[in-house]
Amino acid sequence: MARLRFEGFVIVSANGMLADAANVMPGTLKFDADKVFFSEGLDRVELVLHGRNSFEDQPNSARRNRIVLTRATSALARDANDPKAILWNPSGASFDDACAMAGVASGTIAVIGGPDVFAMFASRYDVFWLSQAHRLQMPEGQGVFPGVPERSPQAILTDWGLSADGSRILDGANQVTVTPWRRKS
């Protein structure tokens, strides 16, 4: 199989949360400039991968190949509700088999959450796009990766072999930035 590229995408609060205490992504963590960045990022990949509770909710969502992790299937199954989606249980089938069933053999895969799914691909990211809303604190939320908030997302990305390659301001008024964390060569 040709080499696949992996890119992670997420937006977190100042204290590293991707969802609130009820495990819901609140409106306060949604910013138009980040939505555009995220949507344009997913428009250039071959496949989107995420856990059953994550989704991108964008105009082009239905056009995208996707793999959804779930224990509702023992191995691999087609999603009856989405002709372009494969349901995947990693305990019953390999990732390569899931990609083959999705018809994706090369190109870029976007990993979009949640925390355990991000961690599962820790060793494979070429780049992880970490958006952060620096003015928003979510004290009771769900950490973006296992180990957050005891450790920062940045410390964990460093552990995964990635390093920050500059930051871009997406929304100055709300102090929202995006930082590409790239694999060290």
Ligand X SMILES: NC(=O)c1ccc[n+]([C@@H]2O[C@H](COP(=O)([O-])OP(=O)(O)OC[C@H]3O[C@@H](n4cnc5c(N)ncnc54)[C@H](OP(=O)(O)O)[C@@H]3O)[C@@H](O)[C@H]2O)c1
List of residues contacting ligand X (CB under 6 A)? 10-11, 18-19, 23-25, 29, 50-54, 69-72, 89-90, 112-117
11 in Cβ contact with 114 (< 8 Å): no
- Give the DSSP H or E segment for 35: helix 32-43
Residue nearest ligand X (C-beta atom): 51
Decide whether 10 or 47 has the Cβ nearer to ligand X.
Answer: 10
User: How many CB atoms are located within 10 Å of the residue 163 CB?
Assistant: 12
* Shortest distance (Å) from residue 184 CB to ligand X: 24
HSE of 164 in the Cβ direction (CA atoms, 13 Å)? 12
* Shortest distance (Å) from residue 90 CB to ligand X: 5
What does residue 3 show for φ and ψ, rounded to 5 degrees?
-70, 135
* Shortest distance (Å) from residue 151 CB to ligand X: 18
Decide whether 17 or 104 has the Cβ nearer to ligand X.
Answer: 17
d(CA 163, CA 165): 6
* Shortest distance (Å) from residue 141 CB to ligand X: 9
Decide whether 72 or 105 has the Cβ nearer to ligand X.
Answer: 72
Residues 79-106, buried b or exposed e (16+ Cβ, 10 A)?
Answer: beeeebbbbbbeeebebeebbebbebee
Q: Is 27 exposed, middle or buried (0-12, 13-18, 19+ CB in 10 A)?
A: exposed
Decide whether 39 or 106 has the Cβ nearer to ligand X.
Answer: 39
* Shortest distance (Å) from residue 165 CB to ligand X: 20
How does DSSP classify residue 147? T
Decide whether 106 or 167 has the Cβ nearer to ligand X.
Answer: 167
